[in-house]
Amino acid sequence: MKSESQTNWAARFAAFLVVCVLVLIGIGGLVTSKGAGMAVPDWPTTYGYNMFLFPISQWHGGIFYEHSHRLVASYVGFMTLILTVWLWFSESRRWVKWMGLAALVMVAIQGLLGGLRVTLFKDQLGIIHAALAQVFLCWIACLAFVGSRWWKCVQPSTSEMVVSRSIKPSFVVASVLVFAQLFLGACLRHQHAGLAVPDFPLAYGKIWPPTDSTFIETINQSRTDVRDFKPITAGHIHLHMAHRIGAILVLGAILISSLKARQGFAVGHGLRSLANFWIITVCVQVCLGMVTIWFNKPADIATLHVLVGAICLVTGVLGSLALARLSFPATDLIRSAGGSTSNPQIATV
Amino acid sequence: MKLNPSLLVVAAVLTTLQAVSAADIVGKITLKGTPPAEKELPLDANCGKLHPASKPTTRFYITDGKGGLADTFIYLKDGLTGKTIEVPAEAKVLDQKGCEYSPYVSGVQTKQKLAVKNSDELLHNVHATPAVAGNKESNQAQLPKSKDLVYSYDNQEILLRFKCDVHPWMFAYVGVVDHPYYAVSAKDGTFKIANVPAGEYTLEAFHRKGGKVTQKVTVGAGNATSDFSFTVPAAP
């Protein structure tokens, strides 16, 4: 029982870590939105200082965002270390222990990627860094979920199992589409090509914009942003248009999945609520995307677009996981995971 | 003292030859059309204090109001093949003052030193972002009153961008060419490329927003004149 209580607290700790990771993603988003990714040219030091001893008086301009990102990232790394050790010694399910260890490896790789992006001047590393952040967020959220009382205790009814099995594929597909869309978004953001097409719903006044060299040259000559980003290319325009098409696909996939869940589960059921939340989230996300274009990509709106995208993804992943959990009787799942069915909490539910 | 007449003749011939074999290219850059309004730079509090009177703006089209266009980089694009060109010993200087780079557009010869200084009481990071292979990207911190950062580039690049990520509105553009025959137009649009050896050249004028224009120019005994005209591009 002591171990069970400890893992419940570990799950709560993981849930808190999810919030911390969201904050970290938000600050990371601001770093890119503000174009401050290279404001601290050295790593792991900060202007030659130990990162934790860099004087606050020097935190101005782009340094504020980049240095804050590094400090919060260090905090998240430390919290992940605590979670990993905690799970290793308190968790009875071996696969959860290994999930904890994988989280630690992931956060270490993530930190390394962030540092190398600065020292090697590689936008590509920034894109991978952004994508891995989303994976890490989902991973920690899953750790919190599989440690929850609901996960351990729920006894799905036969009808729940049938509905869950039928809805699960559409949730998984929608979640994969959301991740692909976030990856496209990361590619756009890290090449500062979010406004490669500056109008919406049309694209340079057309359904599909031209991308010949004369047109591209005109675009670049006409850009008068205070920050001089690298020139727009035809590839940036195609990427931007792919992101728009991706938005339609994601919106459709989430609406279909969520409406199925609303039909399949009764009022008050957790998955019905999650489906409602997912619909709201994706609608907000689409609106943020449009506002980002219409208002010339304000840093706070563009960052909010990243953050709501992350919430959209984690909602889909947790929904998929919940449906997977409801697709099998509790005893089957525990046996397949190598656990014991003699757990009194499960037996009493 | 008695002068040797033959020496005098040789000296006179050499002087004449030098005058004939090198001359200046002068001209004016003009802009047609109405440029977009410049935008106020979003200075932070520290940089704002350095500009109490008026906030600086972007420098897309700096004109004299009479058609003259500044900050155009003009250089000999070709025609120098076979001519021996030495690398100047003195360094060109790029300053950071008032949270802006100065000059905004300048030139440097390949392998010549470019010293970047920080005249501000603020920290900057000097981030060189070349796009031509062989010119190395670098990003270095520069504390107030610290020594100059010195750069040099092996390959021609029109224009190589310097930026500060701490103050993301700070940019400078440096034309890197294989020879000393370049100029940047003044606010009234005029320019002068001095002591160009006699010959036929292609002269290119490059403006960051206006694009580029090339002309043939022949340098002989007297100064050559080449005027360029740019048109504000229509919005796509």
Given this model, what pLDDT does residue A348 score? 30
How far does A42 lie from chain B, in Å, by closest CA?
Answer: 8
Quickly count: other Cβ atoms within 10 Å of residue B71's Cβ: 25
Nearest to B165 among A39, A42, A218 (CB): A39
Domain ranges of chain B: 21-31+59-83+184-219, 86-178
Q: A31, A33, A38, A121: best mutation site toward chain B, by most B Cβ within 10 Å?
A: A38
In a domain, A261, yes or no: yes
In a domain, A336, yes or no: no
Backbone φ/ψ region at A333: left (φ over 0), alpha (ψ -120 to 50), beta: alpha
Identify the closest residue of chain B to A209 by CA–CA distance.
B236
Same domain, A133 and A148: yes
Given this model, what pLDDT does residue A215 score? 95
- Residue A13 sits in which domain range? 1-153
Give me the CATH topology for the region B21-31+59-83+184-219.
Immunoglobulin-like (2.60.40)
Same domain, A130 and A233: no
Same domain, A165 and A116: no
Nearest to B141 among A42, A228, A230 (CB): A42
Same domain, A128 and A190: no
ipTM summary value:
0.84
Identify the closest residue of chain A to B136 by CA–CA distance.
A121
In a domain, A338, yes or no: no
Same domain, A48 and A25: yes
CA pair distance A24, B136, nearest whole angstrom:
32
Residue B217 half-sphere exposure, CB side, CA atoms within 13 Å? Answer: 32
Q: Considering A116, A134, A153, which residue would you say is the last residue of a domain?
A: A153
Q: CATH assignment of B86-178?
A: 2.60.40.420
Same domain, A13 and A27: yes
Given this model, what pLDDT does residue B222 score? 85
Residue ranges, chain A, pLDDT below 70? 1-7, 330-349
CB B134 within 8 A of CB B154: yes
pLDDT in tens, chain B (236 residues): 455 665 555 555 444 444 457 899 999 999 999 999 999 999 999 999 999 888 899 999 999 999 999 999 999 999 888 778 899 999 999 999 999 999 999 999 999 999 999 999 999 999 999 999 999 999 999 998 899 999 999 999 999 999 999 999 999 999 999 999 999 999 999 999 999 999 999 999 999 999 999 999 999 888 899 999 999 988 88
Angle separating helix axes A62-90 and A94-120, nearest 10 degrees: 160
Per-residue pLDDT tens for A287-309?
999 999 999 999 999 999 999 99
Same domain, A169 and A290: yes
Same domain, A105 and A135: yes
In a domain, A341, yes or no: no
CB A71 within 8 A of CB A56: no
Same domain, A90 and A238: no
CA pair distance B190, A100, nearest whole angstrom:
67
Given this model, what pLDDT does residue A330 score? 62
Same domain, A232 and A192: yes
Same domain, A161 and A146: no
Q: Do A62 and B234 touch (CB under 8 A)?
A: no
